[in-house]
Amino acid sequence: MMASPAARMFWRLEGLNAAPSGPLPKEVRFLPDPESDTEATKGLTLSAASVPVLSKHPLVTGPEFQHIKVGVGHRLDAFSSGVLVLAVGNSNKILNNFCRTRVTRDYTLEGEFGTATDDFSYRGKVVERSTYGHVTQDNLDRVLAMLQGANQKALLMYSNVDMRSQEAYEMAAQGLLGPEGKSEPVLTGLALRPLPASQLHFRGAVSK
C-alpha cells in the first residue's frame, strides 16, 4: 500500500521531531528561600532564581515541527537533473528576490547524429535514420555562432536598458545585463565539446 503525500510529509516531520531538542529558555523568578525562618522573622524571604520556562516544554507545546511551508524557486525540465532551489519557512519571502536576480540555467546537452525519435528524446522510439557525413565542425560552429548572435540581440531587447547609456555599459561590464522580468528563453554561452563523430555534446546557459 502506497502512502499518501500527507502521510509521507508526516513521516518526514516525525523524523525532524525525533532530533534532540534544544535546552529550555530560562526566566528569573523570586522564590521563597528554603533556609529562611519564617517563624522568627514573621515574614517571607524571597531570593532570585533562574528556572526553566516549563510552558515551552515539548510535553506542553507538542512537537516542534507541525507544519513547514516549502516553496520551489524553479522547476527542473523534463529529462534533466540539477539543483532544485527550495525555500523553507520564512525564506519563502525572498523567493521573488531570487527570481529577479537574472540567474541563468546551465545545461549540458547530448545528441546523436543520424537518428530521430518520436518524442525527440533518447528514450523515444527511433522513427528515422539518416547519413551525417556532410556535418562538419565548421558547419556546427557557424550554426552556433548564428544562434549566439540572434540570442544576444534578444538579450539586449529584453533588458529594457538604453544601449547608449552609461548604465548599460556598466551592467555589461559586470555581466549583469539580462532580461528584465519574464521573457522568452535566451541562449547564451554556447560551446561545443569534442566527441566521437556521431555524437553531439554542447553546453549553454539560458536566461529566462
Amino acid (one-letter) located at 198? S
CB 51 within 8 A of CB 25: no
Q: Which of 77, 106, 118, 119 is catalytic?
A: 77
> What string of H, E and C letters represents the secondary structure of 28-72?
EEEEECCCCCHHHHCCCCEEEEEEECHHHCHHHHCCCCCCCCEEE
CB 68 within 8 A of CB 50: no
Assess whether 106 carries a catalytic annotation: no
CB 185 within 8 A of CB 154: no
Instruction: Identify any residues that bridge with 82 across adjacent strands, giving them in sequence order.
Output: none
* CA distance readout (Å), 181 to 66, 84, 91, 185, 193: 36, 21, 21, 12, 32
Tell me the catalytic residues: 77
